[in-house]
Amino acid sequence: MLAEPHFKRCPGIWKMLMAAVCVALLSSLQAQDLPGQVSIILLGATGDLARKYLWQGLFHLYLEEVGKGHHFRFHGTALTSTEQGQEVIAKVLESLSCPRDMAPGHCAELKAQFQQLSEYRQLKTPKDYLALSKDIEAQVEHEGLREIGRIFYLSVPPFAYVDIARNINSSCRPGPGAWLRVVLEKPFGHDLHSAQQLAAELGSFFREEEMYRVDHYLGKQVVAQILPFRDQNRAALDGLWNRHHVERVEVVMKETLDAEGRTSFYEEYGVIRDVLQNHLTEVLTLVAMELPVNISSPEAVLQHKLQAFPVLRGLQRHSAVLGQYQAYSGQVRRELQKPDSFHSLTPTFAGILVHIDNLRWEGVPFILMSGKVLDERVSYVRILFKNQAFCVQSEKHWVAAQSRCLPRQIIFHIGHGELGSPAVLVSRNLFRPALPSAGWKEVEGRPGLRLFGLPLSDYYAYSPVREQDAYSQLISHIFHCRKDSFVTTENLLASWAFWTPLLDSLAHEVPRLYPGGAENGQLLDFELSGGHLSFSQPLPEQLVPGPDSAPLPSDFQVLRAKYRESPLISAWPEELIARLAGDIEAAAVRAVRRFGEFHLALSGGSSPVALFQQLATGHYSFPWAHTHLWLVDERCVPLWDPESNFQGLQTHLLQHVRVPHYNVHPMPVHRRQRLCAEEDQGTQAYAEEISALVTNSSFDLVLLGMGADGHTASLFPQSPTGLDGEQLVVLTTSPSSPHRRMSLSLPLINRARKVAVLVMGRMKREIAMLVSRVGHEPKKWPISGVLPDSGQLVWYMDYDAFLG
């Protein structure tokens, strides 16, 4: 019978059981005495994954659990005909192996039992599902058992999920008192939208606690050891696991294989979707998340893991370098019957720079890297610590365990590489780690072997006593309800929300071609500078004939012209933002030099986000300590509301730079717990603050945008408020929600020394054309009223807005 603690760890199942007890107390009490059976239904049982790993994992589960009184039945299913399927399965079952330390006779006996308990059947139609369910019920009854649960393992392509889910839900759920677990294999969507769609569909058939989404990296022994290691070594790590001590973190998965034979999948996904969005992100969160007090609580682990996502800084195009092995396009042409002229843009290599904006990790680069056809196969996480020591004695006197001058690092060596096995390595000059002695042993010395710049002997090195493949581990965790080894819906969507904007922005990026293997030389080496990643070597022309592609932004110069009689700067978005950020910094430096301070008024909305990010990451000489930040306009929502302009400024700029708090001036839209109430006199208060701090109420720089209806700041067409008169700050009404706004008035804007208007995107094309022709008509197009009294007006428009 299944042990009680097993149920306790699965509250959903516990509740179901309780319900069953209420409905039929007597019969249930009698049934409780019967031995329990779990049925495992493997869909796609003849496929690659099943043949390579899943059957072996099921056998492993059987070996682990059979002595504990559980009864099992294994149903391999697929669309394949019964005869053919039986043949395949018979071969697979024959090839199963036992752990090395098991006596051959015992192994043969258990294998024979397992073979007897396993069957193959075709599972295609709703009728087949119903028949399967009935057969399980009949068999359980016939053998005098009690059904305690069913596991459906879907090793099938994702397009089949929904149909299968529907069939399981309608015809194959176990009866009351028994649980259901449905195991799903990636891909779980292609981007945030598709992942949401799939999650919603699956959610209509199964409860969250019934779903087990597999990320096989979570089953790798070393990955599964990251949290226990952090937990057991809290005393040593508490002071070290933070930005003060960690130089950088590398999460790496290098492969030697290519994508041949699976280009139809790979062409759709590419390296970021295939392994970074899932495997490497999972590993990253295990390193970066806050450690729960109780790491054996799956709920606590999952919750802490989820909390790691909102603090990941949004990725930009320059957070990534991309590559593609040279033979890839040819393989795609052959396998997908593409014409000779076809060149794929799918990356097979990516390096990504991730920053985490919290107090623990601020400023520490996390580098994620993976690629096909590289020089070696290896996966690891490397935590490299800062080294501030200066050693007086010469190197020959350094002793590994004592010298503070040797590199200090912890490596979770997930697998392969020169070491050839999973291991946890800790530099001897850090601390002697504690690992569970039951499962881990010290790695034997290998003279001559150097890892990450040090001889193996310079590390405390531990590897698993018994190596186990990830799927065996995960199948055991499914059985034991260890939900923290799986990807929840919330986690999945948080990860896609993090990656999707980058994937969108890279959609047309041309990856650097690389020859593959050792020949790659230094071609793919990349480096970090100014918060960006770039390849270390310039592109060697002869190697990269380059797919015929659209012109790149760098093919164009920044264009200078006039727009409405004022200077216009036009470029591709990235150059434009870089140029504007540079101009703002130059204005700030000038103002601080002359007046000791710089007053900058910023608009909200989406266009300035990239500018804020650029200022936050690439402008270290910006005189933030002497800069005052003002808001051009604000929505009448609390300042913490995601719709608030101040919140956007906070997220994308303020939290990354060192502006003194007293220099930040949010608009007072939320006073006395009311939003923009006239009687609270927020507009007067802001005007007084400006008059008191800004000489002549003349901002050094005002950044504006232009709406598709010609509005600017929160001054809207057909609304007279704020277009003229004495008032410096006004309340206005926007045609779109939230309707109530606070805004600087046009006369105040026009007092500025410089006004920059940033206009980006195709959606602005029409209004940009229209406004280029109209005169001074602020009532119809408030933007046309922007004309600084004595300051300068400069238009910054990207090519999409300017040229269409």
Between vectors from CA 553 to CA 552 and to CA 556, what angle results, nearest 5°? 105
Structure tokens at 154: 């879907």
Least distance from C-beta 372 to ligand BG6, angstroms?
7
- Do residues 713 and 632 make contact, with C-beta atoms less than 8 angstroms apart? yes
Site map 674..713 versus ligand BG6, x via CB under 6 A: ----------------------------------------
Examine residue 185 and tell whether it contacts ligand BG6 (CB under 6 A).
no
Closest by CA to 751, choosing from 731, 774, 728, is 728
Instruction: Pick between residue 253 and residue 435 the one whose CB is nearest to ligand BG6.
Output: 253
Distance CA 767, CA 709 (A): 7
Instruction: Pick between residue 274 and residue 484 the one whose CB is nearest to ligand BG6.
Output: 274
Amino acid of residue 477: H
Instruction: Pick between residue 233 and residue 468 the one whose CB is nearest to ligand BG6.
Output: 468
Structure tokens at 317: 């195009």
Burial (CB count <10 Å: 0-12, 13-18, 19+), residue 732: buried
Least distance from C-beta 327 to ligand BG6, angstroms?
16
Instruction: Pick between residue 292 and residue 511 the one whose CB is nearest to ligand BG6.
Output: 511
Closest by CA to 511, choosing from 764, 716, 326, is 326
Instruction: Pick between residue 209 and residue 282 the one whose CB is nearest to ligand BG6.
Output: 282
Residues in the chain: 804
- Do residues 345 and 547 make contact, with C-beta atoms less than 8 angstroms apart? yes
Distance CA 685, CA 695 (A): 17
Least distance from C-beta 742 to ligand BG6, angstroms?
50
Query: Interface residues for ligand BG6 in 383-422 (CB under 6 A)?
Result: none
Structure tokens at 138: 């009949």
Least distance from C-beta 283 to ligand BG6, angstroms?
11
Amino acid of residue 643: E
Least distance from C-beta 253 to ligand BG6, angstroms?
6
Please name every residue paired with 425 in a beta bridge, in sequence order, or none if there are none: 411, 461
Query: Interface residues for ligand BG6 in 350-379 (CB under 6 A)?
Result: 379
Label the pairing between strands 211-214 and 146-154. Answer: unpaired
Examine residue 275 and tell whether it contacts ligand BG6 (CB under 6 A).
yes
Instruction: Pick between residue 254 and residue 619 the one whose CB is nearest to ligand BG6.
Output: 254
Q: DSSP secondary-structure letter at 163?
A: H
Q: Can you say whether the dihedral through the CA atoms of 546, 549, 554, 559 is positive or negative? A: positive
Instruction: Pick between residue 379 and residue 627 the one whose CB is nearest to ligand BG6.
Output: 379
In three-state secondary structure terms, 719 is coil
Q: DSSP secondary-structure letter at 551?
A: P
Query: Interface residues for ligand BG6 in 754-793 (CB under 6 A)?
Result: none
Amino acid of residue 150: R
Nearest residue (beta carbon) to ligand BG6: 274
Amino acid of residue 394: S
Distance CA 585, CA 624 (A): 10
- Over 62-88, what HEC string results? HHHHHHHCCEEEEEEEECCCHHHHHHH
Q: State how far Cα 569 lies from the chain centre.
A: 35
Distance CA 467, CA 478 (A): 19
Least distance from C-beta 770 to ligand BG6, angstroms?
50
Instruction: Pick between residue 370 and residue 745 the one whose CB is nearest to ligand BG6.
Output: 370
Distance CA 401, CA 150 (A): 52
Closest by CA to 715, choosing from 779, 660, 761, 636, is 779
Query: Interface residues for ligand BG6 in 532-591 (CB under 6 A)?
Result: none
Least distance from C-beta 153 to ligand BG6, angstroms?
16
Instruction: Pick between residue 147 and residue 255 the one whose CB is nearest to ligand BG6.
Output: 255
Burial (CB count <10 Å: 0-12, 13-18, 19+), residue 345: middle
Q: Can you say whether the dihedral through the CA atoms of 501, 504, 510, 511 is positive or negative? A: positive
Amino acid of residue 435: L
Least distance from C-beta 275 to ligand BG6, angstroms?
5
250 CB-side CA count, 13 A: 21
Q: Which residues contact 104 (CB under 8 A, 6 or more apart)?
A: none
Q: Which helix (H) or strand (E) holds 474?
A: helix 470-479
Least distance from C-beta 379 to ligand BG6, angstroms?
5
Q: What are phi and psi of 278, to 5 degrees?
A: -110, -80
Least distance from C-beta 252 to ligand BG6, angstroms?
11
Least distance from C-beta 421 to ligand BG6, angstroms?
14
Query: Interface residues for ligand BG6 in 244-263 (CB under 6 A)?
Result: 253, 255
Per CB under 6 A, the list member of 210, 250, 274, 798 interacting with ligand BG6 is 274
Cβ neighbours, 10 Å, residue 433:
19
Instruction: Pick between residue 275 and residue 587 the one whose CB is nearest to ligand BG6.
Output: 275
Choosing from 75, 279, 318, 652, which is the catalytic residue? 279
Instruction: Pick between residue 373 and residue 756 the one whose CB is nearest to ligand BG6.
Output: 373
Label the pairing between strands 526-529 and 532-535. Answer: antiparallel
Distance CA 659, CA 587 (A): 17
Active site residue 279: yes
Q: Which residues contact 55 (CB under 8 A, 6 or more apart)?
A: 42, 45, 76, 89, 92, 93, 96
Closest by CA to 658, choosing from 689, 616, 701, 690, is 616
Least distance from C-beta 713 to ligand BG6, angstroms?
49
Question: What DSSP string describes 750-778?
Answer: TTSSEEEEEE-SGGGHHHHHHHHH--S-T
Rg of the chain over Cα atoms, rounded to whole angstroms, equals 31
- Do residues 732 and 636 make contact, with C-beta atoms less than 8 angstroms apart? no
Instruction: Pick between residue 154 and residue 253 the one whose CB is nearest to ligand BG6.
Output: 253
Distance CA 43, CA 161 (A): 11
- Binding-site size for ligand BG6 (CB under 6 A) equals 5
Least distance from C-beta 216 to ligand BG6, angstroms?
6
Instruction: Pick between residue 253 and residue 354 the one whose CB is nearest to ligand BG6.
Output: 253
Examine residue 597 and tell whether it contacts ligand BG6 (CB under 6 A).
no
Q: Which residues bind ligand BG6 (CB under 6 A)?
A: 253, 255, 274-275, 379
Question: Annotated active-site positions, please?
Answer: 279
